[in-house]
C-alpha cells in the first residue's frame, strides 16, 4: 500500500503552509493505527470524531501552538486542514475535548506500547534500558486541582507544581516514552513516588519488556522498588546517596564511608571512558543480598553506584548508569519543545490528558527517528523547527505535493517517512 502523501519540488503553486511536515506526522499516526485502537476501546462521541480531535490536539507542539486559541487559529493552514480533515474549529471545542473524562487514554497508551514491543526482537529488547525518574511541572495558581508546593532543584526554590513520575525505554539508539503518573497531594503520602515507580516498572516488565537493566537515581534505590525488580529477576543499576545508612558485609555504616573506604590505588581507567577512573567491590548488603559497588570521583566528590548482580562488571555498571541522563534530556525536551506547561486549565483531568498527548507527540517523533537515519541524528527541537514546521507551498489534486526551497535538507527524509506504512515501521 502506497502512502497518501508525497513530497517533491515543483513550479506549481497553491496554498502556502508553515507546517510542511504535518502530512508525515499524519502518516505515522495512521500507520500506528491509533484510530483503530480507539475504535476497539470504544472511544466515540457525536460531532467531530475522537480520532480527528486527538490528532489535532497532538499537533499542538508540532504547530507551535501555546494555547487552544492558537491551535484553533492554525487549523485552517493549507496542510493542517488537509491532513486533519478540519477547515476550522472553535477553541472551546478543543477545551471540552481535553477535559472530557470519558476516555481512558492509558488504555490507548498500553495498546501502543504492546505494538511497539512486538516490533522488536527478543535479542534487541534484551540489550535495551528502562529508565525511571520524576520531574516537576511548574504551575501558577493554587486553585489548580492537585498542585502542591514542591522544591525545584534547578531553581533552588519552592514553587506551586505537579510532580510527574515517568518511565522511558532506550532501545536501538531511540527513546520512547512508556508510562507516566502524577504524585498528587490528595494521597497524603499514602501513594509515594516509589509506589508509583514500582507499579509502573512492574507493568512494563509484565507487558514484555525484559531489558538489560533498569536504571534509577538515588531517590529510587529503596527496598520497595528493588524487591519488585528482584522478584521479576530484572537487573538494575542505581546511584546510592552518600547520606544513607547501609548494612554492608555485616557492618552498619554511612554510604559515604563505604565509598571512601576504597583507596585510590585500586582505581583504574574505564574501557570506554579513559579519563574516568573507578574502583569496585563485591559486597553483601542486608535485605538486598550480593551486589557490586562501583565508586568514582567527580568534581572532587565520590559517586557510589550499585549493580544488582555480581555477574555485572564495573565497566558495564558505569556504562548503563550513564544512560540515565537520557531521561533528563527527555524531560527537558518535553518542557522546552513539546509544551508540558502549556496547559492553563484548572481541572486535573485536563492536565493529565494534556501530558498524555504530549507523550503521544514525543512517541511520533521517536518513530520519525526510527524510520529515517538522517532524522535520528537531530534533536527534538531540530525536528520540530527544521522538519515539521518547514515552510512550503501546496499543489496537486489527487495527491498532495510540496514545494520547498531548493536548499531544503530533509526532503529525502520526509519522503522516507511518507513511504512507510504500518508494515514498514514495524517490519511485519
pLDDT in tens, 301-321: 889 999 987 678 889 999 999
Confidence of residue 145 (pLDDT cuts 50, 70, 90): confident
**Is there a single domain that holds both residue 308 and residue 273?**
yes
How many domains is the chain built from? 2
**Is there a single domain that holds both residue 32 and residue 78?**
yes
pLDDT in tens, 184-206: 865 555 688 999 999 999 999 99
Rounded mean pLDDT of 149-158? Answer: 75
**Is there a single domain that holds both residue 356 and residue 405?**
yes
Nearest 5°: phi and psi at 287? 75, -5
Does some domain include residue 267? yes
Rounded mean pLDDT of 401-427? Answer: 63
**Is there a single domain that holds both residue 39 and residue 75?**
yes
Does some domain include residue 195? no
6 pLDDT above the threshold of 60: no
**Is there a single domain that holds both residue 40 and residue 100?**
yes
Average pLDDT, the chain: 86
Percent over 90 (pLDDT), the chain: 51
pLDDT in tens, 101-127: 999 999 999 999 999 999 999 999 999
Confidence of residue 159 (pLDDT cuts 50, 70, 90): confident
**Is there a single domain that holds both residue 317 and residue 355?**
no
Confidence of residue 416 (pLDDT cuts 50, 70, 90): confident
Lowest mean pLDDT across 8-22, 200-214, 261-275: 8-22
CB 411 within 8 A of CB 405: no
Out of 288, 321, 354, pick the residue that ends a domain: 321
Instruction: Please report the pLDDT score of residue 402 as a whole number.
Output: 63
Instruction: Please report the pLDDT score of residue 282 as a whole number.
Output: 86
Does some domain include residue 24? yes
**Is there a single domain that holds both residue 363 and residue 307?**
no
Percent over 70 (pLDDT), the chain: 89
7 pLDDT above the threshold of 70: no
Rounded mean pLDDT of 13-32? Answer: 84
**Is there a single domain that holds both residue 239 and residue 296?**
yes
Does some domain include residue 369? yes
Where is pLDDT greater, at 52 or 410?
Answer: 52
Does some domain include residue 228? no
pLDDT in tens, 44-84: 998 999 999 999 999 999 999 999 999 999 999 988 998 89
**Which residues, 6 or more positions from 215, have their beta carbon under 8 angstroms from its beta carbon?**
129, 130, 131, 132, 236, 237, 238, 320, 321, 323, 324
**Is there a single domain that holds both residue 360 and residue 297?**
no
Ordered DSSP codes for 56-76: HHHTTTTTT-SSHHHHHHHTT
**Is there a single domain that holds both residue 350 and residue 271?**
no
Instruction: Please report the pLDDT score of residue 264 as a whole number.
Output: 82
Does some domain include residue 331? no
Confidence of residue 422 (pLDDT cuts 50, 70, 90): very low
428 pLDDT above the threshold of 50: no
pLDDT in tens, 336-352: 999 888 888 888 999 99
Does some domain include residue 302? yes
Out of 287, 321, 355, pick the residue that ends a domain: 321
Instruction: Please report the pLDDT score of residue 425 as a whole number.
Output: 46
**Is there a single domain that holds both residue 284 and residue 357?**
no
Out of 266, 289, 321, pick the residue that ends a domain: 321
Rounded mean pLDDT of 7-24? Answer: 70
CB 404 within 8 A of CB 11: no
**Which residues, 6 or more positions from 106, have their beta carbon under 8 angstroms from its beta carbon?**
356
Confidence of residue 253 (pLDDT cuts 50, 70, 90): confident
What SS3 class is residue 133? strand
Select from 359, 379, 376 the least CA-distant residue to 367: 376
Q: Is 276 exposed, middle or buried (0-12, 13-18, 19+ CB in 10 A)?
A: middle
- DSSP H helices in 77-236: 78-84, 91-98, 105-118, 122-126, 193-206, 223-231
Does some domain include residue 221? no
- Dihedral angle at the C-alpha atoms of 397, 400, 404, 406, nearest 10 degrees? -80
Per-range mean pLDDT, top range of 131-145, 167-181, 289-303, 366-380: 167-181
172 pLDDT above the threshold of 50: yes
Q: Show the domain range for 378.
A: 15-104+344-426
Amino acid at each position: 500500500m502506497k502512502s497518501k502523501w508525497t513530497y517533491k519540488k515543483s513550479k506549481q503553486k497553491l496554498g502556502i503552509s508553515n507546517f510542511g511536515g504535518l502530512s508525515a506526522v499524519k502518516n505515522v499516526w495512521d500507520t500506528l493505527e491509533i484510530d483503530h485502537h480507539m475504535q476497539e476501546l470504544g472511544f466515540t462521541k457525536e460531532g467531530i470524531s475522537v480520532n480527528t480531535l486527538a490528532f489535532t490536539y497532538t499537533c499542538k507542539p508540532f504547530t507551535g501552538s501555546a494555547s487552544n486559541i492558537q491551535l484553533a487559529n492554525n487549523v485552517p493552514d493549507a496542510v493542517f486542514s488537509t491532513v486533519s480533515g478540519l477547515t476550522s474549529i472553535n477553541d472551546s471545542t478543543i477545551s471540552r475535548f481535553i477535559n472530557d473524562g470519558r476516555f481512558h487514554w492509558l488504555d490507548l497508551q498500553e495498546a501502543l506500547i504492546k505494538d511497539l514491543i512486538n516490533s522488536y526482537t527478543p535479542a534487541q529488547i534484551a540489550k535495551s534500558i528502562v529508565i525511571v525518574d520524576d520531574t516537576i511541572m511548574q504551575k501558577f495558581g493554587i486553585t489548580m486541582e492537585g498542585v502542591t508546593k514542591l522544591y525545584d532543584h534547578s531553581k533552588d526554590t519552592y514553587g506551586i507544581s505537579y510532580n510527574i513520575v515517568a518511565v522511558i525505554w532506550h532501545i536501538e539508539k531511540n527513546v520512547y516514552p512508556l508510562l507516566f503518573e502524577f504524585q498528587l497531594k490528595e494521597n497524603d503520602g499514602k501513594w509515594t513516588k516509589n509506589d508509583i515507580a514500582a507499579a509502573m516498572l512492574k507493568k512494563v516488565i509484565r507487558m514484555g519488556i525484559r531489558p538489560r537493566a533498569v536504571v534509577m537515581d538515588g531517590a529510587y534505590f529503596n527496598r520497595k522498588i528493588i524487591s519488585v525488580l528482584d522478584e521479576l529477576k530484572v537487573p538494575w543499576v542505581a546511584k546510592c546517596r552518600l547520606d544513607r545508612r547501609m548494612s554492608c558485609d555485616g557492618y552498619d555504616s554511612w554510604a559515604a564511608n563505604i565509598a571512601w573506604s576504597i583507596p585510590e590505588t585500586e582505581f583504574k581507567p574505564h574501557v570506554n571512558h579513559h579519563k574516568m577512573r573507578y574502583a569496585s567491590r563485591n559486597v553483601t548488603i542486608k535485605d538486598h543480598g550480593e551486589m557490586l559497588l562501583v565508586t568514582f570521583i567527580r568534581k572532587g566528590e565520590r559517586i557510589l553506584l550499585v549493580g544488582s548482580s555480581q555477574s555485572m562488571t564495573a565497566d558495564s555498571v558505569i556504562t548503563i548508569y550513564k544512560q540515565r541522563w537520557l531521561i533528563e534530556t527527555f524531560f527537558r525536551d518535553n518542557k522546552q519543545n513539546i509544551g508540558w506547561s502549556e496547559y492553563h486549565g484548572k481541572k486535573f483531568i485536563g492536565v493529565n490528558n494534556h501530558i498524555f498527548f504530549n507523550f503521544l507527540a514525543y512517541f511520533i517523533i521517536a518513530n520519525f527517528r526510527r524510520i529515517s537515519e538522517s532524522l535520528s541524528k537531530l534533536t527534538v527541537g531540530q525536528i520540530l523547527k527544521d522538519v515539521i514546521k518547514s515552510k512550503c507551498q501546496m499543489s496537486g489534486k489527487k495527491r498532495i505535493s510540496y514545494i520547498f526551497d531548493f536548499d531544503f535538507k530533509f526532503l529525502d527524509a520526509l519522503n522516507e517517512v511518507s513511504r512507510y506504512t504500518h508494515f514498514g515501521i514495524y517490519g511485519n
